[in-house]
């Protein structure tokens, strides 16, 4: 049923860490792709054949598909046969501690594409979303286009097909995983699922597994909640080992020699747009039932403050502490600072005025430094500058540049290592 000629034009709404690689991969299959983003700088950068994010080999693919004319970016939506929505879904911070999903970006995307929708179009929500978000998207589209019918109104015979297919890629390996990973596709009707499978089969080598929209939404939340719970176990274990004067890194290696044990390595917390956010969507929907999932979030959210206490303790050894914080990204060898515990730790240390705080992040430039850190006087410096100046070293991310640091250089310094590289 599927064919590479099924779609001649696809529009991707949101050209960030997921949208741009997806647009580039689809364009590389000879399909015309229109990328839409509200950020004029991102649009101009892409149209010049460059990229505004860090992802291995993405620049080569984008340059190629832009030069052939298969990928073009714009701030205004245009007609297409399929629309893939890949916009942020953060949560709203509330005074009562609740974490309700913010679907305003999805609603805005719906209102943006609604005027150019035509009968026979397919709309796919790729953004990680709470259960029911795909249905809301269909309702928002229906409100904006009463002349068209949607799955909640007409089922399989609807004018516009709507489905959910959550992204499930690992930063740093996005191009490979977009193609090789299995995809969970949840249509609002069978016809919606079938049409979505047609689209994904143009570039996905993995299996396209069909379910309904609500189950597809919950599948992604479940995957990330499972990982969050396992990370929380490792982080809790690291704090216990610290108190009992046990090397947690050695302990994890020993325990993992058991054939059915696979403990993750601890860190300074959990970051990124997915694992640090998605479990809250489950907790918000079922607060009385999601006890373990909630506790894992609380454990991981508390870890940065435990690290801060260790840094303050180390800084107290010096009259004029100079604290070099190695890493701002939420994981190794990428530039993504979203929900990063490293940024949170650096921000809190700068706020505490315990000494001079230096940030080292080899994957970003000066103008990409978080405004909150610049306002507190945190400078971005090279590894060499920071090691020369600092007497307290805080390893927050295990970037390859930090793994190459000679251990002898650190002998005279106080080191707080949250990644086990020292």
User: Is residue 242 a contact partner of residue 278, using CB atoms and an 8 Å limit?
Assistant: no
The dihedral through the CA atoms of 134, 139, 140, 146 has a sign that is positive
Of the residues 220, 294, 303, 331, only one is catalytic, namely 220
User: Is residue 237 a contact partner of residue 256, using CB atoms and an 8 Å limit?
Assistant: no
Parallel, antiparallel or unpaired: strands 122-125 and 161-164: parallel
Dig out the tokens for 107 from the structure: 């609603």
User: Is residue 163 a contact partner of residue 188, using CB atoms and an 8 Å limit?
Assistant: yes
User: Is residue 87 a contact partner of residue 42, using CB atoms and an 8 Å limit?
Assistant: no
Of the residues 165, 192, 274, 325, only one is catalytic, namely 274
Radius of gyration of the chain (CA): 23
Three-state secondary structure call for residue 294: helix
Q: Look at the chain and count its residues.
A: 422
Active-site residue flag, 220: yes
Residue 352 CA to residue 342 CA, distance in Å, equals 15
For residue 166, with 0-12 CB atoms within 10 Å meaning exposed, 13-18 middle and 19 or more buried, which class applies?
buried
Minimal CA–CA distance to 33: which of 45, 44, 49, 22? Answer: 22
Q: What angle do CA 367, 370, 375 make, to 5 degrees?
A: 95
- What φ, ψ does residue 271 adopt, rounded to 5°? -130, -170
End-to-end Cα, the chain, rounded Å: 54
Active-site residue flag, 107: no
Minimal CA–CA distance to 392: which of 306, 313, 304? Answer: 313
> Mind telling me the catalytic residues?
220, 274
């Amino acid at each position: 049923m599927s064919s590479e000629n099924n779609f001649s034009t696809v529009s991707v709404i949101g050209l960030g860490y997921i949208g741009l690689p997806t647009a580039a991969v689809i364009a590389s299959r000879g399909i015309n792709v229109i990328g839409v983003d509200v950020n004029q700088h991102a649009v101009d950068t892409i149209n010049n054949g460059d990229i505004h994010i860090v992802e291995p080999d993405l620049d080569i693919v984008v340059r190629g598909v832009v030069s052939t004319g298969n990928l073009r970016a714009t701030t205004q939506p245009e007609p297409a046969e399929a629309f893939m929505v890949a916009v942020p879904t953060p949560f709203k911070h509330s005074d009562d501690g609740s974490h309700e999903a913010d679907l305003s970006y999805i609603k805005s995307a719906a209102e943006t594409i609604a005027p150019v929708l035509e009968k026979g179009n397919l709309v796919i929500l790729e953004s990680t979303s709470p259960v029911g978000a795909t249905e809301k998207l269909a309702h928002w589209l229906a409100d904006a286009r009463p002349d068209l019918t949607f799955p909640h109104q007409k089922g399989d015979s609807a004018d516009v097909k709507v489905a959910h297919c959550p992204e499930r890629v690992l930063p740093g390996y996005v191009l490979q995983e977009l193609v090789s990973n299995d995809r969970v596709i949840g249509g609002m009707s069978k016809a919606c699922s079938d049409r979505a499978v047609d689209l994904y089969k143009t570039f996905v080598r993995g299996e396209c597994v069909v379910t309904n929209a609500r189950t597809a939404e919950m599948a992604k939340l479940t995957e990330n909640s499972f990982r969050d719970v396992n990370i929380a176990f490792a982080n809790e274990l690291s704090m216990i080992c610290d108190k009992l004067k046990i090397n947690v890194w050695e302990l994890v290696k020993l325990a993992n020699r058991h054939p059915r044990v696979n403990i993750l390595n601890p860190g300074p917390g959990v970051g990124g747009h997915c694992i640090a956010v998605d479990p809250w969507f489950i907790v918000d929907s079922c607060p009385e039932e999601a006890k373990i999932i909630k506790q894992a979030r609380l454990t991981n959210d508390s870890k940065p403050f435990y690290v801060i206490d260790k840094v303050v303790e180390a800084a107290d050894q010096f009259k004029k502490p100079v604290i070099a914080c190695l890493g701002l990204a939420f994981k190794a060898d990428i530039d993504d600072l979203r929900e990063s515990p490293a940024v949170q730790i650096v921000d809190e240390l700068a706020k505490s005025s315990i000494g001079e705080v230096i940030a080292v992040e080899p994957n970003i430039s000066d103008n990409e430094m978080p405004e909150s850190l610049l306002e507190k006087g945190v400078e971005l410096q090279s590894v060499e500058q920071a090691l020369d100046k600092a007497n307290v070293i805080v390893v927050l991310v295990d970037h390859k540049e930090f793994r190459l640091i000679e251990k002898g250089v650190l002998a005279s310094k106080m080191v707080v290592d949250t990644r086990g590289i020292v």
